[in-house]
Amino acid sequence: MSDEILISQSILRNGIKLLHRRRVGEVAHLALMVNAGMRDERPDENGLAHFIEHLVFKGTKRRKAYHILSCLENVGGDLNAYTTKEETCIHASFLKEHLGKAMDLFADVIFNSTFPENEMEKEKEVILDEINSYRDTPADEIFDEFENLLYRGHQLGRNILGTIDLVSGYSRGDIVRFHKSHYAPDRMILACIGDVSFEDFRHMAEKYFADCEGDAVPFERVPFTPLPAKTQIEERTSHLTHVVIGGLAYPYNDDRKLKLILLNNILGGPGMNTRLNLNIREKYGFAYTIESQYNAYSDTGNYTIYMGVDPHSQDKSIELAFKELNKLMTQKLGILQLSNAKKQLIGQVALSNESGMNDLLGMIRAGFFEEHIETLPETIAKLEKITAEELLEVANETFRRDDASLLIFQGQEE
């Protein structure tokens, strides 16, 4: 297997896992992911994981906020971070000769952040603005609200940003406690894609990370128990009605995951030729926007169909969406249909992987679930073996109407 495909792995003595893939080019990409996110918060800690993601850039024992932000930007690099329901990640892209500089910065902000109180108060305002902005955008808000409906009563059924009341009241002690409890080295992966050898990458990782320490804390998550489907309608003042149809699906490491990814791509993936787009938007002009997604977590997952429609077209659009789901459950794909669907997905995955950062973030998340991380050729080989009968089986396991939940932000009819 060539260096451009091979994914190398190692573990530092403190438990940090290393992932590396060599890729020819002047630009390198580095990411550090912590297996801790919103799901790991207590009810009175909602929003803390996201808050910490903001605060790690606000000062360390060695650097002030300005020096953190300027460290890579001064050499043309790009530094960013994000929080999900199960992970927190910082990542950067830069010229390959600055890999050591990036590693030094990452180790500093993850293990030596001081969480200054004056910066904390300023960042609270930023996050409160983020919460209010999100509430003003129903096309974004409805996805989180749908997961709140689907996972109601469970940790997964909360918002990553937290609430205005909780975020406003957090103290530095709350931040330090959560960081200490969850930012343990054995819950971290450091990954790199770039034109550097694995030996050099590992040597730099040992230099900057091997002596970083954290308290060993038992890693426990409350498993999700499936709930009955539910329909919820909320009146909104917008002119557009927003609809999400969806239900539970396979977790990340399920063997059927790739089959559901292929089905989702046929149903309402990023292409303009998806069944939902052709039969609801193009044929009838009902939907301003329509798409489907599949989200996989460690022990569960979900599929969603989102539509932004005129209130007059709401009921017809919903019925047409269920009609498309029923077709996938009852009508086996023909040989040419299946071949074309596979080619489309393979092309999309290959194009996405042209972005080194996309490739890196997919690789690093897989590192938490898989001992052997699939390369692109291995994924393509698995995809090629999928049969029409297997897709029918997956569709019938996932898309049953009785198991589908429905959330509607109902706009005002004129």
pLDDT, tens only, 172-181:
999 999 999 9
pLDDT of residue 1: 45
Q: From residue 355, how far is each of 12, 27, 222, 233, 352 by CA, in Å?
A: 28, 11, 35, 39, 6
Confidence of residue 4 (pLDDT cuts 50, 70, 90): low
- 259-296 exposure pattern, b = at least 16 Cβ within 10 A, e = fewer: bbbbbbbbbbbeeeebbbbebbbeeeebbeebbbbbbb
Mention every residue, 6+ apart, whose C-beta is less than 8 A from residue 188: 15, 16, 17, 32, 33, 34, 35, 110
At residue 3, does pLDDT exceed 60?
no
* Strand, helix or coil for residue 305: strand
Whether the Cβ atoms of residue 78 and residue 52 lie closer than 8 Å to each other: no
Tell me what the mean pLDDT of segment 193-207 comes to. Answer: 97
Give me the chain's average pLDDT, please. 94
DSSP character string of 69-101: HHHHHTTT-EEEEEE-SS-EEEEEEEEGGGHHH
Which of 325, 321, 246, 240 has its CA nearest to residue 280?
321
What is the amino acid identity at position 256? R
**pLDDT, mean of residues 98-115:** 97
CB 92 within 8 A of CB 29: yes
77 alpha carbon, distance to own chain's centre: 23
- pLDDT for the residue 136: 87
- Choice among 109-113, 117-121, 218-222, 255-259 with the minimum mean pLDDT: 218-222
Tens-place pLDDT, residues 39-84: 999 999 999 999 999 999 999 999 999 999 999 999 999 999 999 9
CA atoms within 13 A on the CB side of 336: 0
Rounded average pLDDT over 332-342: 97
Q: Tell me which of 414 and 136 has the higher pLDDT.
A: 136
Taking residues 308-313, report their average pLDDT.
93
Q: What is the pLDDT of residues 273-292, one digit of tens each?
A: 999 999 999 998 998 899 99
> Please, which pLDDT band fits residue 367 given cuts at 50, 70 and 90?
very high
Q: Give the span between the Cα atoms of 378 and 53, in whole angstroms.
A: 34
User: What is d(CA 337, CA 99) in angstroms, rounded to the nearest whole number?
Assistant: 45
CA atoms in the 13 A half-sphere facing the CB of 177: 11
Bridge-based pairing state of the strands 78-83 and 287-296? unpaired
Percent of the chain at pLDDT > 70 equals: 98
Residue 386 is encoded by which pair of tokens?
Answer: 């999928």
Is residue 214 pLDDT above 80, yes or no?
no
Q: pTM of this prediction?
A: 0.94
Task: Tell me what pLDDT residue 238 has.
Answer: 84
